Structure 1
Amino acid sequence: MGDSSILFSLAPYHVLSYGTFLGTQVFHTFINSITSFRVLERPQFGILQRAVFPWYFGIQSAGPVILALTYPGHRSVLGVPSGLAGVFHASNRWGVLVPLGTALVAGLVNLVYLLPETNKVTAKRRAQEKEDGKASFSGPPYSKEMAALNKQFGQLHGISSLLNLATLVASVIYGVNLSSRLV
């Protein structure tokens, strides 16, 4: 392969996309969110999260699609093809299709369903805080309405966190598969 032909190969774009995809997840999950929670007041933390999550879940949703489109197949004529055909190739079912599909579905559920639902509950909690004269996070006792909203928020947040973890694990599994091709 000549020097200029690498620019026309999917491989460098795929590796850069994978690095961005995994790096974004690791940074947000283990550094950004934890640090922000520790240093910001709760209301400011919520504002930051509401601004970051659409981008973050968008990356979690778009990343697997970009990885599928840039999937670098084998160079030989009889090898696994590049792009979507390679992702759906029978030999790639467990190491490529399942991890990328898992990450895509989890990211989309977070982006399209859980994020809007969580934002609705958060808005209801803010309204209830005004009515109760007490923050939703200030500790019990809570009004019956606030207790129900806090429970609903906790459930949505928990499911979202599990889906985020599933996406992260699927991304690492995919990376292990990808790195096995380097040997």
Structure 2
Amino acid sequence: MSLIGLKSSIHLLTFSIGFGGSFFYSYIASPLAFKYLERSQFSILQNHVFPIYFLGQTLIPSVLGLSSTIPLTNLSISMLVVSTITSGMNYLWLMPKCRKIKEERNYLINNNLDKVDGIETADFKQKTKEFGIYHGISLLCNLLSVGSLAVYGLTFA
């Protein structure tokens, strides 16, 4: 196999894994897991999957850029950069932040500090709101990452 053939194969497999895996996990597997697993089981699953998922999403655009056998356009380069930045934000900032907030919420729940007379405490409400904000930003970053890989695939095709 020639060097160009090897690079083309690496590029195609990397794109397939990056885009296909991200799309499948984000919009099929994860919603199904959320629907059918208990919250604690779902949380355990996500805590084990997300570090690998976001790291892969962060590194794959670089491999795509390096393994391209044709010159990349400004649009395709931009899409790889968007995918890298948004995935990197998830991996380096949002995932740890969301995990910390969840741990703080779980501490309140486990120590019966989440409710007083059946009413959620201000601390618990604040942690829930804070988690919602950071989780929403994470979802947006993930959407931008998957979407930018889709646009890259269309420009590359």
What TM-score does the superposition give when structure 1 sets the normalisation length?
0.80
**Paired residue for 2:143, among 165, 173, 176?**
165
Q: Which residue of 1 aligns with 2:156?
A: 178
TM-aligned CA deviation for residue 11 of structure 1? 1.1
Matched residues in 1 for 2:156 and 2:4: separation? 19
Overall identity of the aligned pairs, in % = 28
* SS at 2:68 equivalent: coil
Q: Which residue of 2 aligns with 1:150?
A: 128
Matches within 5 A, 1:95-110: 96-110=76-90
Residue 55 (1) aligns with residue 36 (2): no
Structure 1 counterpart of 2:104, which letter?
K
| Structure 1 residue runs of 4 or more that deviate by more than 6 Å after TM superposition | none
In structure 1, list runs of 5 or more residues that go unmatched: 74-79, 81-86
Q: Which residue of 2 aligns with 1:123?
A: 103
CA displacement, residues 82-105 of structure 1 (integer Å, 9 cap, x when unaligned): xxxxx4xxxx111x1110000000
What is the root-mean-square deviation in Å for CA atoms of aligned residues?
1.7
Select the structure with the greater relative contact order (CA < 8 A; seq sep ≥ 6).
Answer: 2
Matches within 5 A, 1:1-12: 4-5=1-2, 8-12=5-9
Q: Which of these two proteins has the greater Rg computed from alpha carbons? A: 1
Please say if residues 6 and 12 of structure 1, whose CA atoms lie closer than 8 Å, have aligned partners that are also in contact. Answer: no
TM-aligned CA deviation for residue 134 of structure 1? 5.3
User: What is the aligned residue count?
Assistant: 155
What TM-score does the superposition give when structure 2 sets the normalisation length?
0.92
* SS at 1:10 equivalent: helix
Please say if residues 54 and 111 of structure 1, whose CA atoms lie closer than 8 Å, have aligned partners that are also in contact. Answer: yes
In structure 2, list runs of 5 or more residues that go unmatched: none
